[in-house]
Amino acid sequence: MHVWMPLAYSAAPIPAAAVLSGAAVKAGIVFIRFVPFEPARPSWGVALATAGFFSAFYGVAIGITQSNPKSVLACSRVSQMGLLAAVIGIGLAAGDTSVATPTIFYAIHHTLAKGGLFLAVGVGALTRARRFWLVGLPAAVLALGLGGLPLTGGALAKLDIKGSLGDGIAGTLATLSSIASALLMFHFLCRLRSDAPQDPHASAPMGLIAPWLAIAMAAVVPWALYPRIVGGSFYDALAPKELWAAFWPVLIGGLLSVCLRRCTNWLPRIPAGDVLVCAERAKPAARDLAAAMEGLDRRLREWPACCL
């Protein structure tokens, strides 16, 4: 049911898109309060996890074909929500009630980071190219944090869900998802940079810069919440083994992004709302069917008595 996201995010003003991408979409995570994790439901859990991992990779596959930074972020949203659905599915299959905490912790970080990135699109579009690094540097930290860049809130969030996914096929798919997310975020940063105005006098207003910087700095909140909510240890999170485990997927995503830039012309041109665009081809047939149903209904209404 993702087709509205790229269309709505592309059309919405920057502040509205930031709210949509943050609190509005994450409100869907509230349903986890009503999921009956006990007893275990393997068939339902596996089905949800499968759909979630499909969304995680499908969102990236569509996102790398988009040129609008807001559409890229919308596809990233589809991917990240898919990963959260997969975590919930694994918990449902195992009857593990503890998956609720890492899921909500991940959602908190993602809400802050994605809201900040949407505001970065607005600030970047009004910042001249020579000063773009002032926007690009914080945006890069937020974006790559979604891929699990070490020392970011995203690294803590991914470390937290790792225990729920385990080391089997689900854990492997989650690692591949981190690589895919990093690739998509590198693509987003390239699109953000290309949209910078060439006007040497362009300058973003303080009314947009202030909330952008506030949310960018708020992305460190997961570090404050980590020991209290998750009960994790900073020593474990900063261990060299965990830092490397978080860094190498981002590194591979960066290398893949270099290859992607050289193969951009070979990628298909998929419009925002990909599935919906395909469905629009059925409009003539649907219109003819509607006319036929209306004609049938008109004939039925001519009867003196109708029990249909």
Q: Do 202 and 294 fall into the same domain?
A: no
pLDDT score for 232: 67
Q: Do 127 and 76 fall into the same domain?
A: yes
Q: How large is the angle between the packed helices 69-94 and 169-194, nearest 10 degrees?
A: 170
Q: Do 303 and 198 fall into the same domain?
A: no
Q: Do 258 and 286 fall into the same domain?
A: no
Q: Do 144 and 291 fall into the same domain?
A: no
What does the mean pLDDT of the chain come to? 83
Q: Do 155 and 287 fall into the same domain?
A: no
Peptide bond into 39 cis (omega under 30): yes
Q: Do 160 and 300 fall into the same domain?
A: no
Residues 142-149 have a mean pLDDT of: 87
- Within 13 Å and on the Cβ side, how many CA atoms surround 198? 1
Residue 100 to residue 77: CA distance in whole angstroms: 19
Q: Do 159 and 184 fall into the same domain?
A: yes
Among 161-170, 242-251, 254-263, 293-302, which is the least confidently predicted range? 161-170
Q: Do 246 and 282 fall into the same domain?
A: no
Domains held by the chain: number: 2
Residues 195-210 have a mean pLDDT of: 73
pLDDT, one tens digit per residue, over 265-290 is 778 788 777 777 767 778 888 889 99
Q: Do 27 and 173 fall into the same domain?
A: yes
Residue 52 to residue 118: CA distance in whole angstroms: 24
- 3-class SS letters over the chain: CCCHHHHHHHHCCHHHHHHHHHHHHHHHHHHHHHCCCCCCCHHHHHHHHHHHHHHHHHHHHHHCCCCCHHHHHHHHHHHHHHHHHHHHHHHHHHCCHHHHHHHHHHHHHHHHHHHHHHHHHHHHCCCCHHHCHHHHHHHHHHHHHHCCCCCCHHHHHHHHHHHHHCCCHHHHHHHHHHHHHHHHHHHHHHHHHHCCCCCCCCCCCHHHHHHHHHHHHHCCHHHHHHHHHHCCCHHHHCCHHHHHHHHHHHHHHHHHHHHHHHCHHHCCCCCCCHHHHHHHHHHHHHHHHHHHHHHHHHHHCCCCCCCC
pLDDT score for 52: 92
Q: Do 281 and 140 fall into the same domain?
A: no
pLDDT score for 230: 67
pLDDT, one tens digit per residue, over 291-308 is 999 998 888 888 776 655
pLDDT, one tens digit per residue, over 66-75 is 888 888 988 8
Cβ-contact 63, 72 below 8 angstroms = yes
Give the residue among 116, 145, 151, 102 at the shortest CA–CA distance from 250: 145
Residue 74 belongs to domain spanning: 4-272
| pTM, two decimal places | 0.81
Q: Do 127 and 258 fall into the same domain?
A: yes
pLDDT, one tens digit per residue, over 17-44 is 777 776 676 677 777 767 787 888 888 8
